Amino acid sequence: MLAGLQYDFNELAVSDSANVSYVVDDSGVVSQTLVNIFQVDNIQINPLLYYNNPNTDIITYVLLALLSIISAIWYFFPDRFLSIFFMKSKSQLLRGGESRVRVPGTLITVFFWINFIIATNIFILLFLKRFFAIEIEGLSDYQVVSFIFLTISGLFLYRGVIIFGAATIFQTKKLMQHQVVIGQNILFITGVLLVPVILVLLYSGGSFFIYLAIAAIFFLQATRLVQLVIIGKSSTIFSVLHIILYLCTLEIVPVLVLIRLIGNGSEI
């Protein structure tokens, strides 16, 4: 009985941790060889990457570094981190008795800008690879990211000129500062949200998280537009028609131009 129990135990141990390999010798005789996985050296376990390319490791390391810095800011400077979620300028916070809420500071602001630029460029790159792989075929990741960066820079330059020009013409510098703070904070929140989403995209695949990120971006932009309307209505010199024309010039015109440029580029 003891021998039978030992045999059953050995059978279970071998079947759970061994693979059977078949060896054919020169005479054509097939023999079985049990290979225990615990006896095999140099076993490598590699994660499955759904956007596997030579730059995936670099992207992962950069995102982990950004996420670590964001976590450090949240832990050591929670009031400055949470200040990006306030849609008010520094002067409005002081007038409203919210002096305990600190502004992010120069270094943290610069970091949030860098985080937004990096996260947005990587997210758009993954978006293009997922839905427009044929259109960008033949271009390296660096070329695509360069085009994305130049496009976003051009869009921000255009909007900056329009905002500053309107504030100069209508003498509404305080409203301009409030508008700039709201737009900046929306961009910072977008960058913070995109970092973990991109990490999940790299290792999970699928389109769900892409759609989720796009929905969050649209919601944040809709919030910004509502805030812009509220800012415009707070001034007596602007009518509803002025606000509509301003929003069309600031938001819709550059989007239409960008769509036209993309359409012309795809026809080449």
Q: Which contiguous run of DSSP H or E holds residue 246?
A: helix 240-247
Q: Which tens digits make up the pLDDT trace of 30-80?
A: 455 544 555 555 555 555 555 656 778 889 999 999 999 999 999 998 888
Instruction: For residues 183 and 234, give the distance between their C-alpha atoms in angstroms, rounded to a whole number.
Output: 17
In terms of Cα–Cα distance, which of 127, 141, 134 is closest to 210? 127
Measure the CA dihedral 185/191/194/195, to 10°.
Answer: -130
Q: Is the predicted pLDDT of residue 133 greater than 90, yes or no?
A: no
Q: How many CB atoms lie within 10 A of CB 195?
A: 22
Residue 237, CB half-sphere, CA atoms under 13 Å: how many? 7
Q: Is the predicted pLDDT of residue 17 greater than 70, yes or no?
A: no
Could you give the 3-state DSSP secondary structure of residue 268? Answer: coil
Q: What percent of the chain has pLDDT over 90?
A: 30
Distances (CA, A) of 103 to 83, 132, 174: 6, 40, 17
Q: Does 57 or 193 have the greater pLDDT score?
A: 193
pLDDT at 234: 82
Cβ atoms of 205 and 126 closer than 8 Å = no
Instruction: For residues 266 and 268, give the distance between their C-alpha atoms in angstroms, rounded to a whole number.
Output: 6
- Give pTM, 2 decimals: 0.74
Distances (CA, A) of 243 to 181, 190, 223, 253: 19, 25, 16, 14
Q: Which tens digits make up the pLDDT trace of 212-223?
A: 999 999 999 999
Q: Which tens digits make up the pLDDT trace of 179-192?
A: 888 999 999 999 99
Beta bridge partners, 23, equal: 31
